A and B are shown apart, each in its own frame.
Chain A
Amino acid sequence: MNPYKIVIIEDEELIREELKTLLVNAGYTVDCIINFEETINYIKLTSPDLILLDVNLPGQDGYRLCSTIRTFSTTPILFITGRNTTMDELQALTLGGDDYITKPYNIPILLARINLLLRRGMAEQTSTIEYKRIQLNVIAGTLATNGKEIELTKTELKIMYYLFKHTGAIVSRIDLVEYLWDNEIHIDDNTLSVNIMRIREKLQALGVVDFIQTKRGMGYKI
């Protein structure tokens, strides 16, 4: 996978560094600008794929910087700011910004917006994942083994997808719940247990036993 290069223009050191860590963990190449007088030259030189731009910067504010960048580049610009009046939003968008997110930002939303701007599709385009001779078809939403097939509900599919992505590792319940919440399924711990139980029943119908192991006090593992 070709890593996208993101430039962070933010004057708060801690936020800059943490944002960098976050984006590096998410699989991007990240550059930070420390000397703000050189911003323009730097961007000209490196031509990044995306710019995260803070509005309150020393010297020149983000809006002006944005319109300067727009004179020579069409790189997507995502504004990050503490101000959230409609005027700010309008200004950001009319000056050539592509999107606008307010502090304190919600991290999944931030990542989703970045993804959207980089026009990266859904995580991967493979439709089936196989593990221990069980196939998970993400598009059809089914589990199959030995020629037999069974349908999953939306929630069950997401759970299975997450487990298939973390094969061999123990997935804690809270991680699983959080993942589901990030994917528009808002369930609690108990409902998760119910869903896992249903998946196990379905697996049993396929003739598979003990595919999902419960690690007491830790979580699930496949």
Chain B
Amino acid sequence: MKFSDYMKDNQITLLICFSGSLFFSILLFFWGISLSEIILLWICFAIIVSFTMFGYFRKQQKRIQYLLEALDSLDKKYLITEIADKPETEIEKIYFRLLKTALKSMTDEVSEVRRLNVEYKDFIEQWIHEIKVPITGIQLLCENNKTEIMRKIITQTELIEQDIERVLFYARLGSVEKDYLIKEISLKRCVMEVLSQNKQFLIQSRVCVHTDSISDSVFSDSKWLCFIINQIILNSIKYCSDKPPVIEIKSQDMKDYVTLFITDNGIGIKPSEVNRVFDKGFVGSNGRMGRKSTGIGLYLCDQLCLKLGIGINIESKFGCYTTVLLHFPKSNHLNI
């Protein structure tokens, strides 16, 4: 709070003081008191007024300074009323009570919303576990009665499964830190698992996948990593060109980290859009060409990578290829 602000707030008081003293000095003048004595009185009065006002200003400034510092030191700003010293003046007490009530009602509101959110999330998770039962049933039925039609049905169920998985992972995104198990996993095994999860769909898409040069193993959570790789491979197929789709997956040890390259020969990404593909809801010109893009897949990948400490980036040449690179950090203290 600046002094000028304080003066502005108190200009009425000043005005009253000034006009009061003017009135009294006129009165005193008519009573026959000399001008010099009146000026002396003015000076005395001015000194008294300015001292009082300055004192008040100092006090208020100190108090405000204290409150601001307290607020600054707080991680959760809404706890200020719990931390600050008890209010002294009556007006401050009222403000304090006001603030407290407002914050209380806000926290109530927030916790209510949070409770609903958790409930909703639990419901979604529960539902996903339930929907998996009939899907498993369909899969087994198809597997036991394999015909051309059944193969197509499996393809469709694989797609349904993909989408369900995505919902589950989206719902869990906020709590990755509560649900992971870091251990040494073989990249090859992870990739194989993803490929066999989508076997029918991939075969129907007539895709060729080269996996011979995946050899390294990394420290990560296999469930989440599989999900990330899955999204990337599905994207590769979604954005394939007229050429028969070929996906090349390889890993390379880069000394400080291990990189997994997933390269396709699809339509690629325009240079102007490469940096935005990880944004939530970003569809881009490829997505708008009727390829049912949702702008969620890569966003989820990016978020997950962030939480798992995996680096992710994309290299692409429009009309030629797209490579997604996953960088897994190597940590020496994990090699006990």
**5 cross-chain pairs, A with B, having the tightest CB-CB distances, nearest first:** A18-B140, A186-B209, A82-B129, A104-B136, A82-B132
Could you tell me if A104 and B135 are in contact, using CB atoms closer than 8 angstroms?
yes
CA distance A182 to B196 in the complex (A): 7
Could you tell me if B196 and A22 are in contact, using CB atoms closer than 8 angstroms?
no
Could you tell me if A12 and B133 are in contact, using CB atoms closer than 8 angstroms?
yes
A/B interface sample: 29 pairs, CB < 8 A? A12-B133, A15-B136, A18-B143, A19-B140, A22-B140, A22-B143, A22-B144, A25-B144, A82-B129, A82-B132, A82-B133, A86-B179, A86-B221, A89-B181, A104-B132, A104-B157, A104-B161, A105-B139, A106-B193, A106-B197, A107-B143, A109-B196, A174-B151, A177-B203, A184-B192, A186-B207, A187-B208, A188-B203, A188-B244
A108 contacts the other chain (Cβ, under 8 Å)? yes
A87 contacts the other chain (Cβ, under 8 Å)? yes
- Say whether chain B's binding surface is mostly helix, strand, loop, or mixed: helix
Min Cβ gap A214→B in Å is 19
B195 contacts the other chain (Cβ, under 8 Å)? yes
Contacting residues, chain A, for B206 (C-beta < 8 A): 188-190
B242 contacts the other chain (Cβ, under 8 Å)? no
Q: Per-position contact with B for A71-91: 1 when CB-CB < 8 Å, else 0? A: 000000000001111110110
CA distance A8 to B109 in the complex (A): 49
CA distance A46 to B181 in the complex (A): 36
Min Cβ gap B166→A in Å is 14
Contacting residues, chain A, for B140 (C-beta < 8 A): 14-15, 18-19, 21-22, 107
Chain A interface residues (CB < 8 Å from chain B): 12, 14-15, 18-19, 21-22, 25, 82-87, 89-90, 102-109, 174, 177-178, 181-182, 184, 186-191
Contacting residues, chain A, for B133 (C-beta < 8 A): 12, 15, 82, 103
B202 contacts the other chain (Cβ, under 8 Å)? yes
Contacting residues, chain A, for B195 (C-beta < 8 A): 181, 186
Could you tell me if A84 and B192 are in contact, using CB atoms closer than 8 angstroms?
no
Min Cβ gap A200→B in Å is 20
| A-B interface contact total, Cβ < 8 Å | 94
Q: Per-position contact with A for B127-165: 1 when CB-CB < 8 Å, else 0? A: 011101101110111011000000100000100010000
Min Cβ gap B188→A in Å is 8
Min Cβ gap B238→A in Å is 17
Q: A25-B144, A83-B129, A103-B133 are in contact. Are A178 and B203 (CB under 8 A)?
A: yes
Could you tell me if B223 and A86 are in contact, using CB atoms closer than 8 angstroms?
yes
List 20 other contacts, CB 8 Å, given A174-B203, A178-B199. Answer: A15-B133, A15-B137, A18-B137, A18-B141, A18-B144, A22-B140, A22-B143, A22-B144, A82-B132, A82-B136, A83-B129, A86-B180, A87-B179, A103-B132, A104-B135, A104-B136, A104-B157, A105-B139, A186-B208, A187-B208
Contacting residues, chain A, for B202 (C-beta < 8 A): 181, 186
B231 contacts the other chain (Cβ, under 8 Å)? no
B293 contacts the other chain (Cβ, under 8 Å)? no
CA distance A149 to B161 in the complex (A): 47
